[in-house]
Amino acid sequence: MPDGSYYRIVRHYEDCLARHNEGAAAVDWSSDESARIRYDVMLGLVRQKDRATTLLDFGCGLGALKDHIDERGFRSILYAGLDLSPKFAEAARARHPDVRIYCHDVLEDDSDLPQFDYVVMNGIFTRRHDLTTAEMQTYFEKLATRVFSFARIGIAFNVMSSCVDWESESLFHPSHGELSRFICKSLSRHFVLRNDYGLFETTCYVYRHLEET
């Protein structure tokens, strides 16, 4: 894919931030209700929420997942955020001054992040904007592989579901077979595909190991 072509997607979201400033619309989601559903599904990655756990919200936007974690009372989850966009990182830091918010392009920066127990990537791979499907597939595979290296236990990410009546030209709809082949080959054979939460998406949980009993 052309170097930095994914920044065109970033600029789309920065335009949404400039227009809306806050709320679900600032990250181009249709409603606060759908955002809450996504947050709950992402947190489903965490196997034991009553134990001290570190979590990186990769592509954190305004850091709204932190608010949701607090509302749910998951006090054992130690949250940190990361966003590629300096504008979103600045806004997230303003909303959460006591939270560590990173601003890195992990595909380009040499700066290594610390490891976290879990990394969630909510909305990073749902929109391909004007990238070709092949360009988006390459970006998805490179970034998911890179981010998995920061996770001690596992990662979660969502894509648009391929189990739909129609597919949008600006969204990313890989098939379940394509997802499974990539995950097994490049990440781990311990994974879950979720298509059960009422939105036109598939969320993937990818774990390094089987759950300990």
pLDDT single digits (tens) 16-38: 999 999 999 999 888 999 999 99
What is the percent of the chain where pLDDT is above 90? Answer: 85
pLDDT score, position 30: 85
Query: 206 CB contacts (<8 Å, ≥6 apart)?
Result: 148, 154, 155, 156, 183, 187, 188, 190, 191
Give residue-wise pLDDT tens across range 142-191.
Answer: 999 999 999 999 999 999 999 998 899 999 999 999 999 999 999 999 99
pLDDT score, position 29: 86
Quickly state the pLDDT bin for 72 (edges 50, 70, 90).
very high
CB count within 10 Å of CB 202 equals 23
Q: Give the C-alpha separation, 150 to 57, whole Å.
A: 12
pLDDT score, position 1: 43
Give residue-wise pLDDT tens across range 85-114.
Answer: 999 999 999 999 999 999 999 998 866 789
pTM of the predicted structure, to 2 decimals:
0.94
Give residue-wise pLDDT tens across range 185-209.
Answer: 999 999 999 999 999 999 999 999 9
Give residue-wise pLDDT tens across range 128-142.
Answer: 999 999 999 999 999
3-state SS, the chain, equals: CCCCCCHHHHHHHHHHHHHHCCCHHHHCCCCHHHHHHHHHHHHCCCCCCCCCEEEEEECCCCCHHHHHHHHHCCCCEEEEEECCCHHHHHHHHHHCCCCCEECCCCCCCCCCCCCEEEEEECCCCCECCCCCHHHHHHHHHHHHHHHHCCEEEEEEEEEECCCCCCCCCCECCCCHHHHHHHHHHHHCCEEEEECCCCCCEEEEEEECCCCCC
From residue 90, give the alpha-carbon distance in Å to each of 81, 103, 163, 190: 11, 9, 37, 36
pLDDT score, position 17: 92
Assign a CATH topology to domain 7-207.
Answer: Rossmann fold (3.40.50)
pLDDT score, position 204: 98
